[in-house]
Amino acid sequence: MNTIANNIADFLKEYAPFKYLSFDELAAIATNIRVLNLEVNKTLFKVDDPLHDVFYIVASGLVNLTVIVDAEENILNKCHEGGIFGLRPFFAKNNYTMTAKAREESILYAIPIVVFRPFVANNTDVLNFLLENFAVNTRNSKDKESLHNNQISDSVFYTGQTSEMQYFQTLSYNNNPITVSHSDTVQETAQLMAESKNTCAVICSNKIPLGIVTDSDMSSKIATGRFPVTTTIDKIMVYPVITVLENVSLAEAQLLMLKNNVSHLCVTQDGSDKSAVKGVISEHDLVVAQANNPGVLVKEIKRAHDVNDLKQIRFRLADLVQNSIQKNIPLTHVNNIASEITFALLKRAIELSILEWGSPPARFAWLSIGSQGRKEQLLPTDQDSILIFEDVTPEKYREVKDYFLNLASKTTDLLEGVGYEACPNGHMAKNILWCKSLTDWMKQYNNWINTPGEHSGDLSSIFFDYELVYGEQKIEDAISSTVFQNMENNTLFFDFLGNDALRKNSPLTFFKNFNVEEEGPHKDKFDIKTKALMPLIDGARLFTLSFKVKGINNTYIRFKQLAMVDPKHAETYLECAEAFLVLSKIRTLEGIKNDNSGQFVNLEELSKIDRDKLKNALAPMRKLEDLIKDKFQLTHFS
């Protein structure tokens, strides 16, 4: 082996995944490597460039990976010595999605994909490294948008925190594939593929896959004259087929194609090649799936121009939630992703309204309250919001408030068009009561907290579940300071909230049956929102405020935090946290099935296992109720 290749092999063995290979294997790779010198500010590839047949490792110097967002260059990662990048050719056929540019004079090793692919396929350590780092987080932490973005195939592979994004990408595929018999001719099969615009056909015997033929097989074996069109299809098929279960994740599908050097996967009943064919996953399906990942949705939201654009993305969010639930993705993860996309939709609606009404005359904060504020809105339920604008001189007050009322009216109407219904209780920023100055809002919270019984008609506890969507963080901080200052030793307020939390009807009857609706359009159905979820939501809020836990609105996370703050009752809090997840999932599935909010569950349609899960999830509520009575010395409404 020549000296240069020897030096390259010595270098590679210090870095994963190369360190998992033998020196002889590294030597074989090193002899095929090209050495590139990249001058300062020289671009190696840019967005939309055709893919190279190599990937790169930095031998010395610094290479930045960047994307353009809103006319600004955003650095996704800085690749120092040992950093690997440009891996997109392994996983996709479409062009580069980022730019690689030398930040200083750099030396790169260009490693041919075709040379490295066998080592990926044959070495589990190399494959596991790729899998663990497949959607590695390579974003700039200072760029808020990129916190939720996933550049899946151009990632720089360092050991680090693995992104969950790969599991949320909806993977749709052809569930009505062409199947033919081994005795069918190439010509007959080709005609079927052309007529149905399919890129492959599966050769089956009694629905069991024997092999597969793709359009590339047709090109390489028939168009070149190697076989006549009268040949039976089994003579040119590729076998055995690579089979998967239908719930395979995008990451797993991509890596299977990589490992086996195939362009199609066969979906079967049990995931083996001994069961019936259900569909085919193609490379094109994976490209489409990448276009539907959460990061891409957020980017599309930022570019949306009208309500129809946002509405289409809202539909795709619903698909993402449904797909993730059906794949048993943990509900906490689904909630995080769905909330970020929802907040991006809300923010864009405000931005579009500002474009129509002109620049705001004062700084302001738009806060989501209720389920949106708690980041628990997996289904298209109603919108709840308030608007707070900075204090202005008395002579400007009316003019400023009118502007924000118009802005809020436009925004809430737009969101209604997107699919978020208006709040039936009028808890929206376009309501004159809920659009006012910071001083007025501080007075409002003062009154609610210090005299809760006097004007309780307009007090809803959801006003204490708020999250900034758009505007000034300082305004939200001022409200939080007011809230927690006024709660200090305020037994009257906690008596009020505690009694309110205990006022809900019991979810079970005396005989431990479900307390269902007795009349009306939802007769005999169980109100899972009011009788099961709300007591948990109210209890979590009550204790969070009491223990001065700031900045956490989500019910599940509130209970988890309370278990640390109040370890004496940790068991009860943790049981409530898990119960909340179970109940939320049942409600979400009910909503998906009936295309509604999922509030009223048809118990007859639940399996016995799901009914038992529902009943078991109600058990911690009694403990929580007792804890509320004990903590706040309450006996009313019990």
Which CATH number describes the domain made up of 3-163?
A: 2.60.120.10
Cα(579)–Cα(583) distance, integer angstroms: 6
**CA–CA dist 366, 473 (Å, integer):** 10
Contact 126, 116 (CB under 8 A): no
Which of 10, 41, 4, 7 is closest to 23 using CA atoms?
10
Backbone phi, psi, residue 453, to 5°: -85, -20
Q: What is the pLDDT of residue 118?
A: 82
Vertex 167: Cα angle to 50 and 53 (nearest 5):
20
Residue-level pLDDT at 283: 82
Name, in order, each residue with C-beta under 8 angstroms of 632's C-beta and a sequence gap of 6 or more.
491, 494, 495, 498, 542, 546
pTM higher than 0.85: no
What pLDDT sits at residue 73?
66
Amino acid letter, residue 314: R
Complete DSSP assignment for 407-433? HHHHHHHHHHHHT-PBPTT--STTSGG
The pLDDT value given to residue 149: 32
Helix segments in 39-179, DSSP class H: 88-91, 113-122, 124-132
SS3 139: coil
| Residue whose entry in the numeric block shows the structure tokens 């389920």 | 371
Q: Count Cα neighbours of 18 within 13 Å in the Cβ-side half-sphere.
A: 24
CA distances from 301 to 220, 223, 360 (A): 42, 45, 22
Other beta carbons within 10 angstroms of residue 12's beta carbon come to 24
Q: Which tokens is 50 given?
A: 């055709």
Query: Residue 443 and residue 440: Cα distance in Å, rounded?
Result: 5
Phi and psi at 435, nearest 5°, equal -135, 100
Query: Average pLDDT for consecutive 10-residue bins of the chain (638 residues)?
Result: 81 88 90 92 91 92 80 72 83 78 92 86 68 39 32 30 42 88 94 89 95 90 88 93 84 78 90 92 77 72 89 86 75 83 93 93 94 86 92 95 96 93 90 95 91 63 91 94 90 87 79 85 92 94 92 91 92 94 92 87 90 91 92 67
Which of 560, 584, 46 has its CA nearest to residue 330? 584
Number of C-alpha atoms within 13 angstroms, CB side, residue 451? 7
**Domain 179-286, CATH class in plain words:** alpha beta
Pick the CATH number of 304-488 from 1.10.3720.10, 3.40.50.620, 3.30.460.10, 1.10.1370.30: 3.30.460.10
Buried b (16+ CB within 10 A) or exposed e, 581-607: bbbbbbbbbbbbeeeebbbbbeeeebe
Residue-level pLDDT at 135: 40
The one-character DSSP state at 185 is B
The answer to whether 386 touches 429, Cβ cutoff 8 Å, is yes
